Amino acid sequence: MNILYRPKLSDGKLVRLSWPIAMFRLTHIVCWPLEDDAPRWAYYFDRFCWFLAFIVFVLTNDAELRYLRFNMQNLDELLNGVPTYLVLIEAHIRGFTLGYRKNKFKNLLRKFYAAIYVDERQHPSFHKKIQPRFWPLYVFSSMYVATLTNFIVTPIALLLTRGSRELTFKMIPLFEYRSFPIYLPCLLSNIWVGFLVVSLFSAEPNILGLVVLHLHSRYLIMNENLRKKTENLLKNPSNTEIARRFRKIVVETINENKRLNIFAQEIQDEFSFRIFILFSFAAMCLCAVASKVYTNPLGSFAYIFWMFGKIQELMIIGDLGSTIIATTDEVSTMYYNSNWEFVIARSSDSCENVRLMKLLTMAIALNRKPFYLTGLNFFTVSLNTVIKILQGAGSYFTCLISFR
């Protein structure tokens, strides 16, 4: 019996998840939903883990903040703790927000795989076309995993080689933790927090990329279906009720268009707040990490992986936003270029022609504005926005280096 939710296609076939999403499902019980028929004890265990993780995050945040306050006068030591503290705060907000509303997240995934996902068996060419765009997602996820590995290996290596009992993150707990019975739970809790952070940061952009790229393909399939149906209609030499038959094709396209637009809005509702948090922290995180790498490049391999992973993550999310803007911006043009003028020329039913023209005018008007993925409507997710964030991070970095 499966306890953790496993997505299925419309025909009941289990979905093969990419490795970042599969890792997220298996390691992040805080955010990943349960199956509808999961036993009652699983629900209570899920809530217990959510509460326990929340407490561990709060204690870790407090210990890291204490380290920052203790080293407020030492900029180099301060920079050792700022990057992980900012990442932890961001993960705390994003992760527990998603964990609190994980059932809505499950409903989005269920609807996506049932009605939006482009199955390779049905549309092999469209499915194949988007596959290369997932590779950059896997690359930056690998960089995050490499960062976590470095953070985990370092204290374990110090313990085994020197007997030094260091924690994974720069922090000063409320209590003395050097005795081994206390040190071991503290180290394990740090490792658990690291897994929760990295699995969330790796999987969420992968899920966003998955739904956006398949939605993008659905818009292209809708365009192709309209074009093929119109071509078949015009190839038919009969002009009998040609306008009515074409209007029926347009109505079917509008219904599909409406379905896709509704799902696009559901993506916005699900990811908008967490995208806002991600982009809001991005400039500060990149500035802090770049400063740490600048001051001690040989001792900052983990931060180098994280910095390049974060930059690539932002670029990918910006590209996804630009993709869905460009795709939906062409929908109104799709209706205008549907060869309706040839249908009108061959139709002798003036009333039906008028109804067809009104329908096309309405369809063009309803799609005159493209869909924008936003962060709480404060900014539009696009490559231009990401470039501005990177420019801001560069400015903060220059200012911080000048203080040194």
**Which pLDDT tens digit goes with each residue over 367-401?**
989 999 999 989 999 999 999 998 888 887 787 77
Write down the pLDDT at residue 196: 93
State the residue range of the domain holding 146: 19-403
Cα–Cα distances in Å, from 102 out to 14, 46, 107, 376, 380? 20, 11, 9, 19, 25
The answer as to whether 10 is a domain residue is no
The answer as to whether 7 is a domain residue is no
Write down the pLDDT at residue 88: 92
Residue keyed to tokens 């009992």: 165
Write down the pLDDT at residue 296: 73
Structure-block tokens of residue 236: 């038919």
Cα first-last separation, the chain: 58
Write down the pLDDT at residue 71: 86
d(Cα 142, Cα 198) in Å, to the nearest integer?
A: 10
The answer as to whether 196 is a domain residue is yes
The answer as to whether 97 is a domain residue is yes
* Domains identified in the chain, total number: 1
Count CB atoms within 10 A of the CB of residue 292.
Answer: 25
Residues of the chain whose pLDDT is less than 70?
1, 298, 403-404
The answer as to whether 258 is a domain residue is yes
Strand partners for 8: 14
Task: Name the phi and psi angles at 300, rounded to 5.
Answer: -130, 35
Q: Could you tell me if 347 and 315 are in contact, meaning their C-beta atoms sit under 8 angstroms apart?
A: no
The answer as to whether 269 is a domain residue is yes
Write down the pLDDT at residue 1: 52
The answer as to whether 30 is a domain residue is yes
Count CB atoms within 10 A of the CB of residue 390.
Answer: 17
